[in-house]
Amino acid sequence: MTDTYLNLVNSGVTKKLAQQLGLPQPAPLRRYRAGTPLVDGPVLVLGRGKDADALAAVLAGPAGGAPGSTVLDGWDLDVHRHASPDTRYAAVVVVLTDVEHPDQLAGPVLATAGVLRGLARGGRVVTVSREATPDDAPALAAARQGVDGLLRSLAKELRGGATGNGVVLREGVPVTAPSTLGAVRFFLSARSAFVDGQLLTVDSDAGALPASWDRPLEGRVAVVTGAARGIGASIAATLARDGATVVAVDVPAAGEQLAAVANRVHGTALQLDVTAQDAGARILAHALQRHGRLDVVVHNAGITRDKLLANMTPDKWDSVLAVNIASQLRINEALLTSGDFADEPRIVSLASTSGIAGNRGQTNYAASKGGVIGMVRATAPLLVPFGGTANAVAPGFIETEMTARIPALTRQVARRLNSLQQGGQPVDVAEAVAFLASPAAGGIVGRTLRVCGQNMVGQ
C-alpha cells in the first residue's frame, strides 16, 4: 500500500509546507536493488585494537578471495580509520569489543558524534561489541551494557532514512567469524532498510561466508508457509532471488494465488492446511520428491482474530493459537525426527512486536507470537548438532492488505510511531528472513530480530 503522506512531504510545495509546519518528514528508504554497491560512499571504522584493525581489513580488502574465507575475501570498500568532519560518510562502524570501563566509551562515541551531521541519506551506523554477562566485573558489565543504551538512543536521533544497529558478540566469538561479518554486512546493506535500533547477538563462530553475496542460498531448498500473498509471497520471491528453490505452501482456498507465486519464483506449490496433523510429513515428502532435499523452513502462515479479552471466545482463541504456534511446533517435530532435515538446516519463524510489547485487543495473537519467540529459543539448540539454527523475525507495522483495513487515522498514527516514521514493506521482512536463512547466519542461534523501524514499544 502506498504511503501518500511520505510522498507528499518529500516533493515540491508540500515538502516546504511540511518543513514550515514542523510536520514529520519520513525519508524514502534505501532498499536493495541488484547490482547496486553495498554502500554509496566511504566507511569510517572507529575503535582501537586488533578487532577494529581486523574488521577494517575485511571491509577494505580486495574482493574475490577464496569462498568461505574471512579476511582474504574482502569487500573492497573505501575505508577510513580516522574521522574527518569534511567527509560525507555512507556508514560508520564503531568497534567497541575491547572496551572494559564506561570511561573508554567516550573516545569512539564522540568521534562518531563528530561526523553524524554529515552522514549520507540512508546512511548506516553499526556498533560491534561484546555481550555483558553476570560473570563480568561490574565496570566491564557496565561498559558492555552501556553500548545497548547508546545504540538504541543514537538510532532515534538519526534522520534521512539512516539507521543504527549493533552486532553483539558472545565471549570467544571472533570479529571475523562468519556470522559477525554476515550481520555487519546485513546492517550496512540496503537489505536492512527497516531494521533500526536493534542489537543482534552472534552466539558462535559457526556458519560460513557464501561463495556469492548476491546468491547466498544457491542450491538450497526452502519451504515458505502462507506464501500466497503479502509477506509470504515477498519471502518466497526474496529467497528465490538469493538462489533458493522455493516450495510455496498455503491453504487450498488460496490455490490460484499460490500457483501464481510458485510460477513467478520458478518453484512448486503445495496446497496444505498447516494445522493438519500430517502437515510436516507432507511438506517433507513434497520437498524430497520434487527437489531431493529440504534445507530451510519459513513459518510465515498466521491469522488474527482480534477481541478484547473480556469479549474473547474459544473459537477465536483456539484458531489463532492453532495456526500461529501449534502448527509450527508440530511441523518442527516432524522435521527434526525425520532424519532428512539435517544438512545445516534453518528454521525462521514470523513473530511480531505484539508478542514482545503486547497490543490491546490481541491477547490471543500476542500469546501466539510470544510463543514463537520462546519456541525458537528452545528449538535452536536441537539444530546446533547438525549445523542448523532456529530464529525469528518480529515485524512491526508493515504495509499489507491486513494493515490497509485499519481505519485511516489509526493507520497514519501507526506508521509514524517508529524512528523512521513510516510503515515497512513486505520485502523488509523478507530480507531479514533471507539473511537468517543464509550460511552467514549459522552462528546466530535462537534469536529474534525486529523489523519495525525501531517501533516505540518494547525493546
* Active site members: 365
Separation between Cα atoms, residue 99 and residue 143, nearest integer Å? 7
* Collapsed DSSP state (helix, strand, coil) of residue 225: strand
- The neighbouring-strand residues paired with 455 are 418
DSSP labels for 383-405? HGGGT-EEEEEEE-SB-SHHHHT
Edge-to-edge strand list for the sheet holding 199-202: 79-80, 43-46, 91-95, 124-130, 163-169, 199-202
The count of other CB atoms within 10 Å of the CB of residue 243 is 19
Question: Given the C-alpha cell 568497534, which residue does it identify?
Answer: 95
Residue 400 φ/ψ, nearest 5 degrees: -135, 175
Q: How far is CA 56 from CA 50, 85, 234, 328, in A?
A: 10, 20, 34, 41
Task: Output the CA–CA distances (angstroms, integers) from residue 35 to 65, 201, 213, 228, 254, in the order listed.
Answer: 19, 29, 11, 28, 34
All three cell numbers of 338: 525425520
Whether the CB-CB separation of 74 and 63 falls below 8 Å is answered with yes
d(CA 389, CA 250): 24
Count Cβ atoms below 10 Å from residue 78 Cβ, excluding itself: 14
- Please give the Cα distance from 341 to 331 (Å, whole number): 12
Place of cell 529467497: 239
Instruction: Return d(Cα 363, Cα 323) in angstroms, integer.
Output: 15
The sign of the dihedral angle between the CA atoms of 64, 65, 66, 70 is negative
Nearest to 207 by CA among 384, 50, 380, 382: 384
DSSP 360: T
The x, y and z cell numbers of residue 18, run together, are: 511540511
CA-CA distance, 323 to 279, in Å (whole number)?
12
